[in-house]
Every structure is written in C-alpha cells, then in structure tokens.
Amino acid sequence: MSAVTPSVLFVCVHNAGRSQMAAAFLTHLGGDRVQVRSAGSAPADTVNPAVVEALREVGIDISAETPKVLTTEAVRASDVVITMGCGDACPVFPGKRYLDWKLDDPAGQGVAAVRPIRDEIERRVRGLLTELGVKARV
C-alpha cells in the first residue's frame, strides 16, 4: 500500500501572519508527512515581525519566510485549502476540501496580542493533523 502525503494550503490576504503561523506549525508538527503551502491574495512585503517573534518563543523560526502570492496552481495542487479571511479572492475547484478558520488578524498587533492567535492556530493545526491521519511530532 502506498502512503499518500496530504497537501494543505493556508491562505490569507497578506500571507504575513495567520497563514504563515499555520504553515509553520503544520511543517513543524507534520514534518515530511504532509505537504505545506501558504499564500496571500495580496501579499505583504514581509512577514509580520510580531508573528516571527511569537513563533520564536515556541521554538519555530520563520525569519527567512516571505509572503507569497496565491496562484491557481497552488490551489490545484492542494488537497485541503484553509482560508483565513481572504473572502472571494480564493479560487474554488471541485474535489478540494475547503475550511475557513475565523481568526483575529495579527496585523498591527504586538507580540502579546499575537500569542493567543498563535496558540489557537496551533490547536487547530493539531486537530487538522488528526483529521488527516498524520501523527504530530512531539
């Protein structure tokens, strides 16, 4: 029996906060057992520094990440597409699983405000891994 690696795309408007945190947690917890992408419908120039710091606090370094533009190819290549407030800008293709995670936007927030968003994203990513049948790394 061949193992199928699930593929997940996280999408938010600027790809500078929520989707970056979600992708970082999924990569960190899922390792090579899951393919991870993130993108934005209107990407920012840089990842939110408060998001970088909040993840650093839990041992995840995303300082080298850059916001990426959402492409139809990225959506087509993903099994699960998780939107985080990008609305109608996200292309929809039949046969994909779409989830919408309603989360506070960390834009313009300090690290203290980002921490609860980070922790909620980690909780949801752990749940997603369970749904996908992928054991999270400790």
Tell me which of 12, 29, 132, 134 is the catalytic residue: 12
pLDDT at 1: 34
Residue 12 known to be catalytic: yes
Residue 90 known to be catalytic: yes
pLDDT at 87: 61
H-only helix segments in 10-110: 18-30, 49-56, 72-76
> Which of 28, 71, 67, 26 has the alpha carbon at shortest distance from 48?
67
pLDDT at 138: 75
> Do 58 and 118 meet the contact criterion of CB atoms below 8 Å apart?
yes
What confidence tier does 137 reach under pLDDT thresholds 50, 70, 90? confident
pLDDT tens for 26-63 read 999 999 999 999 999 899 999 999 999 999 999 999 99
Tell me which of 11, 29, 81, 86 is the catalytic residue: 86
Most confident of 1-5, 21-25, 99-103: 21-25
Residue 86 known to be catalytic: yes
